[in-house]
A and B are shown apart, each in its own frame.
Chain A
Amino acid sequence: MSSPPQTPGWLEQRFPIMSVLRREYVAFPMPRNLNALWSFGAFLIVTMAFMIASGLFLAINYTPDITQAFASVEAIDRHIPSGWFLRSLHMGGVTMLFGCLYIHIGRSLWYGSYKAPRELLWLTGLGLMLMIMVTAFAGYVLPWGQMSYWGATVVLNAVRAVPLIGRPVSELLLGGENLGNIALHRLFVLHFTMAFAILGTIALHVAALHVVKSNNPSGIDPTSPGQTLPFHPYYTSRDGFALCLFLMVYAGLVFFLPSLLTLADNYVQANPLITPRDIRPEWYFAPFYAILRAVPSRLGGLTFAAGSLAVLFALPWLDRSTVRVATQRPLVRFSLPFAFASFVLLGIAGMQPPTETWLVVSRVAMAWWFIHFLLVIPLTSEREIPS
């Protein structure tokens, strides 16, 4: 590491960007013992860059009008040079984004990255997740296929069912009583406006990270320079290698399995008179969809679906234990994997037809999710003996 020059240069005096970059991205102290799960933040930023780039080029060829939206998306797939690639990159990117997001959050839960002093890092991260969910929903409506239309109808009616604010919010989105031209245009604008809002929030999230520094698998913050490594070249090369592996998976999805995660019904233009028989959410919304179905009450289902996320927001205050890592907490080490399994089970259940078996599975899984966060975590946080 070369030391900065004695007399600051012309640029340095006016705008010290080079020394800031050196401090935050070259000499920045990172814990030595990070494992592969700490690369998922880098994956998320790269995927987000792909989403924004492909989204801009898709928007150039897209027409936000109910008579032309479906045809313009078909034209992107079949007629525009390389349009199929841009759309596949965008659709595959959603899956990579949510996959990495859920792993990134799961890692924070396991290693206690939400605890003091990283509460703001946790909250900005969860805020990003909510923003990405809204953006993904708005984006899914844009092709104006059958799934777009009926998915949006269900979600907007759910929003409308929220007491007090539901009706005004859904009217702001719809611009009328029905899902039509005005709504499509608004969702299009919402979709790309949110993309840039997400970009800004990522900047906040990363800035917060650079204040409190990275957590690590031991859950004990490094105290001496000997316990850290500079970000460059150690973690740049390591993240770079991990990114290569990640991009191989992403490219596999884009080039070899572009239709794996889409539903055939969305290649039929929206028809307000016929609901498709086999209506399913995208996999990344399936856990919340399963909760909506598992509760035999409309408002109850909405409350529990929202509550499943709200407990995450409250987590830094529900968990008062000073021990961060789950492996050192006998009860949490037992309970948290079941909470992860509950989330996966809810996701699987959400993709199945609502038979009695899957409803029971959904209810059990949902119950464990809430038991973990509202009973196990608060009750054990002061009683259990760290191992």
Chain B
Amino acid sequence: MPQSDTPPFPDSTKRRDLLATGTLALGCAGACALAVPFLNSLKNTAITSLSDNTLEVDLSTLAPGQGMTVQWQDWPVFIQRRTPQMLAALQAPAHIATLRDADSKILQQPKDATNWHRSVRPDYGVLVGICTHLGCVPTFEKPGSAPEAKGGYFCPCHGSHFDAAGRVVQRAPAPYNLPVPPVTFLSDTKIRIGHSAGDPGFSMSDIQQI
């Protein structure tokens, strides 16, 4: 190599500028492409395995008015055996007037639960127990107990109130009714959560919000 001084820059550097810009742009594009698998690895892998997960529950131990909580897909699922008084309260016009979405217009339930009692059969209610406000788990208060005489689900975090069918009241901060999971009655006292015979195409990933 000759020991001369640094070669002088040519007068016109446009060609070199183009090469430098092109190299830089392609380098950045490559770095962005490389970032894709890195971010990809952070994706939720549970979503893909959501559909084939079912749970069978025996309801023979539930007396009228009694409830139980089971875990399905890491969610608490409230199962309530409703009394005639509770069903009557759900249909009272004065109560319906206080609800945000009394007719379940927003997709928060399978088709066979899009009715006034939001369940396959009126005497059993099945709800995903996650408040649609910010995700706390509501607790069930019996009719007649304070503070709401009609009873229903109360969220301890921000005071959202849902009736026994999981319908949210207008003055609550929660925007939507409680989600209803797909349910199939296998017999009078046995249900399968995770598949709906009345709405086979239903998937929990389609609902408005859980």
Residues of A within 8 A of B (CB): 32-33, 53-54, 57, 60-61, 79-83, 85-86, 225-227, 229-230, 233, 240
Contact = CB atoms under 8 A, between A and B. Distances in A.
B187 interface: no
Interface of B: 1, 3-6, 20, 23, 36-38, 40-43, 45
- What is the interface of chain B mostly: helix, strand, loop, or mixed? loop
Contact of A60 (B3, B23, B41): B41
A277 B107 CA distance: 60
A86 B45 contact: no
Contact of B6 (A61, A229, A240): A229
A80 B41 contact: yes
Given A79-B45, A81-B43, A240-B23, A226 B38 contact: no
A180 B23 CA distance: 50
A82 B1 contact: no
B1 A33 contact: yes
Given A226-B5, A227-B3, A229-B6, A60 B37 contact: no
Contacts of A33: 1
Contact of A82 (B3, B6, B38): B38
A199 B148 CA distance: 61
B41 A83 contact: yes
B21 to A, nearest CB: 13
B6 A86 contact: no
Contacts of B3: 32, 226-227
Contacts of A85: 37
B5 A86 contact: no
A334 B3 CA distance: 31
Contact of A81 (B1, B4, B5, B40): B40
Contact of A226 (B4, B23, B37): B4
Nearest to B38: A57
Given A32-B1, A81-B37, A86-B41, 12 more contacts: A57-B38, A57-B41, A57-B42, A60-B42, A80-B41, A81-B43, A82-B37, A82-B40, A82-B41, A83-B41, A86-B38, A230-B6
B39 to A, nearest CB: 9
10 contacts: A32-B3, A57-B41, A82-B36, A86-B41, A226-B4, A227-B3, A229-B6, A230-B6, A233-B20, A240-B23
